[in-house]
Structure 1
Amino acid sequence: MRTQVCIIGGGPSGLLLSQLLHRKGIDTIVLERKTKDYVLGRIRAGILETGFVDLMREAGVAERLDKECYVHDGTVISYGDEQFGISFKDLIDKTVVVYGQTEVTRDLYEAREAMDGQIVYNVESVTIHGADSDAPYVTYAVDGTEQRIECDFVAGCDGFHGVSRQTIPLSVRKEYEKIYPFGWLGILSETPPVHDELIYASSDRGFALCSMRNENLSRYYIQCALSDSPDDWTDAAFWEELKRRIPSEMAEKLVTGPSIEKSIAPLRSFVTEPMRWGRLFLCGDAAHIVPPTGAKGLNTAASDIHYLYHGMVQHYLDGDSEGLDRYSEKALARVWKAERFSWWMTSLLHRYPEQSPFDLKMQRAEIDFLCSNHAAQVAMAENYVGLPY
């Protein structure tokens, strides 16, 4: 087989890139190691920046998003019983929306299938060959039969554990990583959200987050030890701990119920450089990971897709390689700013095992400064809704 762009990874970033390129007449094949049902069964975040929504519209897949998303004008920060709002709408006249990643992926799958886009599922033994040459190709196996795709470029959208990043030699790539000494225990419940905006809660007992998927589906998190297992936490124990970490006003209004999903996610910050090697381009989790504080994971992947998509269009339609040549530079400049914001919010709101009394005072002073300082609130709002591409 031959295609112009071979995309490894059938998650939202790979599908979005494929859809955008398809609408410009650029041929792609998407390789996915799991089934469609498996991909759609993954529970992920759902806060979308303005830039991501604009890309979905450009890809022609935003009709349901525009109808069903929940627009969020701001967020709430709390410390114990004290709380204050950060109004993105008032501060910078921008908003974010809540629309689950599963729904984003579903919309993209339907669009690709409607256009007869090529997606190959259940691929194994994916190997990228000749990425540093003028004739790259990708081999893989399905049901034990090896296949080969010749292409102009390879887009690695296959996540942290995928083959794409590992293809770049260690002599070329440099990796930066911070492992946080805690995780997030999260549950999904068929209950109404406790508040119409997200609540980021800091407390003496640790961090908590009150989020939602829709008016009858809520997503809640609490900071927990890395050694914890979801089985260590009954639903009742989770709800009681959550109530201890959020303002009493909210705790009294909280509607509890059985969890329909429960998991623990470790937190890490990770970046690999460069994000391009020859004709191989890394996108999303294949190149960088952020802690979920600040909701930047899917959105940083979208910014990568923005730069790569426009670089591909410039190459194929205008005969100009400037966008592709500067892809890594442009993508990393924005990635590091997103990493900084996610690290800052994580440091602001969580409890660390090694914190001294002085550290705790500084953390509280930082929250007080954010509460009282207009410029600090503007900076947070600009970062939360997404820096410009």
Structure 2
Amino acid sequence: MRTKVVIIGSGPSGLLLGQILTRAGVSNVIIDRVGKEYILGRVRAGVLEEGLVKLLENAGVADRLHKEGLPHDGFSLAFDGRDHRIDLFDLTGGQRVMVYGQTEVTHDLMDARERDGSLTIYDAENVQPHDFSGKKSYVTYQKDGVTHRIDCDFIAGCDGFHGVSRKAVPQGAIREYERVYPFGWLGILAEVPPVNHELIYANHPRGFALCSMRSNTRSRYYVQCPLDDKIEDWSDDRFWDEIRRRLPAHHAEAMKTAPSFEKSIAPLRSFVAEPMRFGSLFLAGDAAHIVPPTGAKGLNLAASDVHYLSQGLIEYYNEGSQAGLDAYSGRALDRVWKAVRFSWWMTTMMHRFPDTGDFGQKIQEAELDYLVHSRAAATSLAENYVGLPY
């Protein structure tokens, strides 16, 4: 088999890249080591920047998003028992974010790919990119005990932090930067109306908390917890009691509870791999970078990578120019590092670290107080939260 671009990974970044390329007439095949049901079963974030919304619109997959998504013009910062709203729409001159689950984005992209008749190969074993330093790249995989080969011009590694694409790069050709945070997020999903119509980010001496939602009837809540905590240590009753303690009283009293139907603990890290291109192999999304979810940047960074990479590939096939592909890594990383900085800043401001102590807590509260009373400081936060321009 031969195609122009092989995309390794059928998460939202791989699917979005495939959809954009298909609509531009650039043939592509997506290949993944797991099945469709497994991918759709993963619970992920759901705050979309306007840049991602526009990409989905241009890709022809935004109808359900606009019907079911929840536009948010702001969010709340809660600390010292108080609640302060950050007015994104006012501070950024009319920008907002959209709350729409990553699983739903993935579903919409999968449906569009199936309608277009584009090929996705699921449950592929031993996926491996080859010869991407030369001009005859190909990808091999095994399916039902048979080894297959797909020849291509380019390979897009959209297969996540643990995928094969970055691991295939020769040692010494890539530099990795990493910060592992000494805590995790315990998250639950429950069929209850959100405690607030917008997200609440809470700083509390007991630890960080986040109140989010997937719809007007389904809530997604998080509390900071030690890395060595186990799911079985956290009953639903314990979770509801703990998150109420970390919220201002009026939110705690208004919170509705119900049995959770999903519960997990996620570690937090910042990670960047440089560069993001190796010959005809390009890394995108979590394959190249990870951010803590505090700033809601993971999915959105993957989207900006796809924007830059799809532009370069379409330019190459339409105009015969390598300029966009040659600029890809630098353009993507410039935006990546700004988002990494923002996510790190939000994380350090909102969480209790082992060495925070009473002094550190007062410093955090002073920074938050300055932030909510300074329009200049709040504007910087808002500009980064809604997403820096591509």
Structure 1 length as normaliser, TM-score? 0.99
Partner of 1:105: 106
Partner of 2:338: 337
Q: Equivalent residue of 1:326, what SS?
A: helix
**Do the aligned residues in 2 keep the contact of 1:6 with 1:30 (CA within 8 Å)?**
yes
Partner of 1:31: 31
- 1:292-341 CA-to-partner distances (Å, cap 9, x unmatched) read 00110000000000000001111110111111001000000000000000
Is 1:74 the counterpart of 2:74? The answer is: yes
Partner of 2:4: 4
Partner of 2:276: 275
Q: Equivalent residue of 1:214, what SS?
A: coil
Partner of 2:63: 63
The code of the aligned residue for 1:45 comes to A
What is the percent sequence identity of the aligned residues?
A: 58
**Do the aligned residues in 2 keep the contact of 1:50 with 1:96 (CA within 8 Å)?**
yes
- 1:90-137 CA-to-partner distances (Å, cap 9, x unmatched) read 111100001111110111011000010000010010111101001110
5+ long unaligned stretches in structure 1: none
**Do the aligned residues in 1 keep the contact of 2:191 with 2:217 (CA within 8 Å)?**
yes
- 1:123-134, aligned counterparts within 5 Å? 123-134=124-135
Partner of 1:230: 231
Q: Equivalent residue of 1:339, what SS?
A: helix
Partner of 1:244: 245
- 1:200-252 CA-to-partner distances (Å, cap 9, x unmatched) read 00001000000000011000000000000111000000000000001011000
**Do the aligned residues in 2 keep the contact of 1:80 with 1:204 (CA within 8 Å)?**
no
Deviates more, 1:355-364 or 1:7-16: 355-364
**Do the aligned residues in 2 keep the contact of 1:48 with 1:97 (CA within 8 Å)?**
yes
1:195 Cα deviation (Å)? Answer: 0.2
1:364 Cα deviation (Å)? Answer: 1.6
Partner of 1:153: 154
Partner of 1:287: 288
**Separation (CA, whole Å) in 2 of partners of 1:337 and 1:277:** 23
1:66 Cα deviation (Å)? Answer: 1.1
CA-atom RMSD in angstroms: 0.7
Partner of 2:194: 193
Deviates more, 1:348-357 or 1:10-19: 348-357
**Do the aligned residues in 1 keep the contact of 2:137 with 2:151 (CA within 8 Å)?**
yes
Partner of 1:94: 95
The code of the aligned residue for 2:98 comes to V
Partner of 2:347: 346
Partner of 2:267: 266
The code of the aligned residue for 1:149 comes to I
5+ long unaligned stretches in structure 2: none
**Do the aligned residues in 2 keep the contact of 1:80 with 1:246 (CA within 8 Å)?**
no
The code of the aligned residue for 1:360 comes to Q
Structure 2 length as normaliser, TM-score? 0.99
**Separation (CA, whole Å) in 2 of partners of 1:103 and 1:358:** 42
- 1:46-78 CA-to-partner distances (Å, cap 9, x unmatched) read 110000000001111111111111000000001
**Separation (CA, whole Å) in 2 of partners of 1:127 and 1:32:** 11
**Separation (CA, whole Å) in 1 of partners of 2:337 and 2:91:** 24
Q: Equivalent residue of 2:214, what SS?
A: strand
Partner of 1:383: 384
Q: Equivalent residue of 1:293, what SS?
A: helix
**Do the aligned residues in 1 keep the contact of 2:205 with 2:361 (CA within 8 Å)?**
no
The code of the aligned residue for 1:166 comes to K
**Separation (CA, whole Å) in 2 of partners of 1:233 and 1:121:** 35
Q: Equivalent residue of 1:231, what SS?
A: helix
**Do the aligned residues in 1 keep the contact of 2:194 with 2:212 (CA within 8 Å)?**
yes
The code of the aligned residue for 2:214 comes to R
**Separation (CA, whole Å) in 2 of partners of 1:329 and 1:108:** 27
Partner of 2:329: 328
**Do the aligned residues in 1 keep the contact of 2:80 with 2:365 (CA within 8 Å)?**
no
Partner of 1:50: 50
- 1:142-200 CA-to-partner distances (Å, cap 9, x unmatched) read 11110000000000000000000011112110000000000000000000000000000
1:81 Cα deviation (Å)? Answer: 1.3
Partner of 1:18: 18
**Do the aligned residues in 2 keep the contact of 1:194 with 1:255 (CA within 8 Å)?**
yes
**Separation (CA, whole Å) in 1 of partners of 2:379 and 2:191:** 34
Is 1:300 the counterpart of 2:301? The answer is: yes
**Separation (CA, whole Å) in 1 of partners of 2:355 and 2:205:** 14
**Do the aligned residues in 2 keep the contact of 1:5 with 1:27 (CA within 8 Å)?**
yes
What is the count of residue pairs matched by the alignment? 389
**Separation (CA, whole Å) in 2 of partners of 1:278 and 1:314:** 17
- 1:136-147, aligned counterparts within 5 Å? 136-147=137-148
The code of the aligned residue for 2:287 comes to A
Q: Equivalent residue of 1:221, what SS?
A: strand
The code of the aligned residue for 1:251 comes to A
Q: Equivalent residue of 2:293, what SS?
A: coil
**Separation (CA, whole Å) in 1 of partners of 2:345 and 2:155:** 33
**Do the aligned residues in 2 keep the contact of 1:136 with 1:152 (CA within 8 Å)?**
yes
**Separation (CA, whole Å) in 1 of partners of 2:160 and 2:316:** 25
**Do the aligned residues in 1 keep the contact of 2:192 with 2:218 (CA within 8 Å)?**
yes
